[in-house]
Every structure is written in C-alpha cells, then in structure tokens.
Amino acid sequence: MITPRLFLLFSLTCLSFTLNAEIKLKLGHVATETHSIGIAATRFATALHEISAGEVEVDISPRSELGTVGDMWVQMQTGSLDIQTIDIGAITILKEAKPLMVMWTPFLFRDQQHYRNYILSSEFSEPMDAVRERTGIRFVKQIADRSPRIIATTNRAISTITDMRNLKVRVPPNPLFIDTFKYWQSLPTPIKASEILMSLRSGVVDAQDNGIIDIGNTGKSALKHVTPINWARSGVGLFFSEQKWNELSTQQHEWIIQAASVANISSEQEFKRLMAESWKRLEHMEIQVTKPDLTGFLHATDIIVEKYEGDWWPTGLVNRIRKID
C-alpha cells in the first residue's frame, strides 16, 4: 500500500530527477564548421552548455548531414529536428514566408547595423510571427552577422554590369536571387551550398555569390577575382521547432535566449576583425579585387520592387525598411 508520505517522497524524487536531467537538442545546418553559420552554431551550443550548467546540450549535425535547408525545415515541422542555424533569409524557402522575401531586395540595407535594426523591428517580427503560427517554426534570435554578398569569379574581373553578361553564377534556389542575376545579364545557376566548390572547380559555374568571410574561409580554390558589390546583407538566425520549444520550461527558454544573445554579441564584436582578416587572406590566395561601378547593378532594385511589391510583400514596405534607423 502506498501511503501519502511514500507518494510524496516518490513525487519529490521524480521531480529532482527531472530537474537534473540532461536535455539534448538536435541542431542541423548545411555549412562547414569554419563557415559563419557553423561558427555561430558552435558558439551558441557552447554558451548554452555553460549557462545551463550542463543541463542542456546541443548535438550539432553540420555539412548537410541531415539534408538541405528545405529538408530541415520539414524535419522541424515534424518534430525530428529541434534547431536549424541558417541565414535568416532562408526562411523564405517556405511559401508561408513570402512577405519576408523583401529582405533580398538588392541594395536594401545601408550597412550591417541597418540590417540588424531591421531584424529587431516590427517590420520583421510581425510577419515572422505569422510564419511561426502557420508553420510551427520559431525565430529565436540573430546569432551572427554574415558578410555582405559579393561576386567572386574564376575567369574574369567584374567591374560593370556589362562584365556580367553570360556569366554562370551559382546562386541559392531563391526566385528573387535568380531574377536579380538575370537582370544583371548573367546566367544564375541554383546549386546546393555543399556543392559550390566542386562546381567552381569543374567549370559547372564561373562564379559564386557569397560573403567575403565565407569565401576567404574556403582556402585555396578556383576563384581568381572578387568584386565587392555588397548587394545584400544578412545574418545567421537561430530557428526552433515550435513543438520542441513548447516542451521546454520557461527557465530553459531563458537559457536559450541568453545563449543566443551571447553568440550574437560575440559575433558583432568580431565582425570587423573577421572582415579585415578575410580581405588579407584573399591576398595570400592571390585573388584580385576589382572596384565596381554600381550604376547598372542598382537599376535592378527598381525592377525588383516594381515586380514584387504589392504581390509578395505589402506596398510601401521597401521604403519603410529603408527609413529604419
């Protein structure tokens, strides 16, 4: 017979075990460990371990081990994956996130601080909340900066829009990216992130669109020229399965948010240093840097806004984002 006293002791024992139990969270990403996405994931996991005193651990699967970005969105919706660290703009792979495609408008952001302020604004948070409600994927926080996107080529220097003609450029499978590079007279070629280097070396593509930090971290490659047009700004986001989030306690939510903040602050502090180091690394890689004339590139912005505003995102949103301080 179980007496009230034994029941109380049993309950307290179970409670103590629960509080001291180790929670393992499964995190996936498509990048290498030295890529900005991979570094951010490791930094977040380390911070969460320390903040939670080891109660919450993060098991990281890098290098597309769990599939593509899209595959991992699906896994998060079904509950088989807890976290994905990825470029914040990659949420637009989901059809429910179409209004957030605005963030890929060419030359939308003045600088990286402008981008950070946008992510903290209601212009981002309100449509992202709607995405969470419809998809079960929660944006927790930006955890790192990414370097602005530039053009890197294997066989020609890019100075003006004319130099882009018939250039085979690797781009993400994003319709706005594809349209932008078509307007720039090139041949956009969607290829998975894990296949970029092989595609450059084999000649499948002549160029890639990426940030200088990630280009510099690839080591010796087929690239010969870079042109810093800085046409898009972005950051690494921490995305959580809403299903898993709802299983965690308020205390654990606080630990996760705190760890994300630690990772983000560290990234902001290191961003300028990493940018400078990456440019120096290009010198050792003997990659030529060409200063661009942006006149022709800028014209694509007007075309993109005219085509998509009022359809994919609300009319006037581009101007509102530009005015964010």
CATH code where residue 51 lies:
3.40.190.170
Segments forming the whole domain that contains residue 140: 22-147+234-277
Report yes or no on 213 lying in a domain: yes
Give the three-state DSSP class for 246: helix
Tokens of 180: 């932008």
Report yes or no on 62 lying in a domain: yes
Distance, CA of 86 to CA of 69 (rounded, Å)? 8
Sheet holding 149-153, edge to edge: 187-190, 168-171, 207-211, 149-153, 225-227, 288-289
Report yes or no on 16 lying in a domain: no
Do the beta carbons of residue 41 and residue 82 sit within 8 Å? no
Neighbour-count burial of 38, counting CB atoms closer than 10 A to its CB (0-12 exposed, 13-18 middle, 19+ buried):
buried
Do the beta carbons of residue 81 and residue 26 sit within 8 Å? yes
The verdict on 138 and 46 lying in the same domain is yes
Report yes or no on 135 lying in a domain: yes
Side chain identity at 235, as an amino acid letter?
Answer: G
CA–CA distances in Å: residue 73 to residues 61, 115, 235, 322: 14, 24, 18, 29
The verdict on 200 and 291 lying in the same domain is yes
Number of structural domains (the chain) is 2
Report yes or no on 292 lying in a domain: yes
Distance, CA of 225 to CA of 8 (rounded, Å)? 71
Report yes or no on 10 lying in a domain: no
The verdict on 153 and 273 lying in the same domain is no
Q: Which segments in the chain show pLDDT lower than 50?
A: 1-21
Q: List all residues 6 or more positions away from 60 whose beta carbon is below 8 Å from its beta carbon.
A: 27, 28, 29, 41, 42, 45
The verdict on 238 and 316 lying in the same domain is no
The verdict on 116 and 255 lying in the same domain is yes
The verdict on 210 and 154 lying in the same domain is yes
| Residue 1, CA atoms < 13 Å, CB-side half-sphere | 2
Report yes or no on 59 lying in a domain: yes
pLDDT at residue 218 in the model: 58
pLDDT at residue 57 in the model: 97
The verdict on 246 and 223 lying in the same domain is no
The verdict on 186 and 300 lying in the same domain is yes
The verdict on 153 and 219 lying in the same domain is yes
Report yes or no on 248 lying in a domain: yes
The verdict on 218 and 179 lying in the same domain is yes
The verdict on 228 and 248 lying in the same domain is no
The verdict on 207 and 308 lying in the same domain is yes
pLDDT at residue 16 in the model: 38
